[in-house]
A and B are shown apart, each in its own frame.
Chain A
Amino acid sequence: ALTQPASVSGSPGQSVTISCSGITHDVGGYNYVSWYQQHPGKAPRLLLYDVSHRPSGVSHRFSGSKSGATASLTISGLQSEDEADYYCCSYTTSNSLTVFGGGSRLTVL
């Protein structure tokens, strides 16, 4: 699995960054990283694909980047509704097509 911090936090209006660390067989080797937001009891929602592309309807407050084998999701102008779990995901050449991170719980203070 990709490595994410278990929890992150920030105050309304601030920015937070969630990291997603992999290896050359996944994050480091390909720009097929996606990010998902999941509120309790709900299905995941796609936030970013191909590292930094936003689907229509996703706020510009969500942005993505990658350096080496670490991808990052940055949420700017934190709002209370951003409180949720966030998962990264990457194409991989290991046993499975796709590998997810363990998820990061964002708390808006």
Chain B
Amino acid sequence: EVVLVESGGGSVQPDGSLRLSCAASGFIFDDYPMHWVRQTPGQGLEWVSGINWKGDSIGYAESVKGRFIISRDNARNSLFLQMNSLRVDDTAFYFCAKSNGGYGDYGGAFDSWGQGTLVIVST
């Protein structure tokens, strides 16, 4: 069974930083691309970032480009999201999601999701 567990969320002031982690188990982690998807409480889903199995092909949503950095450690079956220069509108639940590798370097449907970790950016 695929299990994804996010951690690292919390409250931070604008312009602050947070580092999210996602611990993966139940599948061969370095066989699949991984992603971060966020959801503002009570609102819709937004793709944030994705990374291929090797970590050398990466993409970001325009809203986070230049501020967030995705990375992975295949030896530790872990995915990370370094979030810098946080803004109030970054407030959301952040989900770690496994891709089925359906297209491109890191594209595909999100076939497994974690439960999410809440990030609150507020003064």
A contacts, CB < 8 Å to B: 1, 32, 34, 36, 42-46, 49-50, 55, 87, 89, 91, 95-103
From the candidates A45, A55, A100, name the one contacting B45 in the complex (CB within 8 A): A100
Cβ of B47: which chain A residues have Cβ within 8 Å of it?
89, 96-100
Is the beta-carbon distance between B110 and A96 smaller than 8 angstroms? no
Residues of chain B touching chain A, judged by Cβ–Cβ distance below 8 Å, are: 37, 44-47, 50, 59-62, 95, 100, 102-104, 106-116
Q: Are A97 and B113 in contact (CB under 8 A)?
A: no
Residue of B nearest to A87 (CB): B45
Task: Identify which of A1, A45, A55, A95 contacts B44 (C-beta below 8 A).
Answer: A1
Known: A44-B95, A95-B61. A32 touches B45 (CB 8 A): no
Q: Which of A44, A91, A101 interacts with B110 by CB under 8 Å?
A: A44
Asked if B44 and A102 make an inter-chain contact with CB atoms under 8 angstroms apart, the answer reads yes
A101's partner among B44, B100, B116 (CB-CB below 8 A) is B44
Contact of A32 among B60, B102, B112 (CB under 8 A): B102
Chain A residues, Cβ within 8 Å of B109: 32, 34, 46, 49-50, 89
The answer for the CA separation of A72 and B44 in the assembled complex, in Å, is 18
CB pair B45 A97 closer than 8 Å: no
Q: List 18 A-B contacts (CB under 8 A).
A: A1-B44, A32-B107, A34-B110, A42-B115, A43-B113, A44-B37, A49-B102, A49-B108, A50-B109, A89-B109, A91-B103, A91-B104, A95-B62, A96-B47, A97-B59, A97-B104, A100-B44, A100-B46
Tell me the smallest distance from the CB of B46 to a CB of chain A, in Å: 7
Other-chain contact of B106, A1, A89, A97 (Cβ < 8 Å): A97
Residues in B whose Cβ lies below 8 Å from that of A101:
44
Q: How far is the CB of A61 from chain B (nearest CB, A)?
A: 19
Contact (Cβ within 8 A) A55 B95:
no
Residues in B with CB closer than 8 Å to A34 are 109-110
> Are B44 and A97 in contact (CB-based, < 8 A)?
no
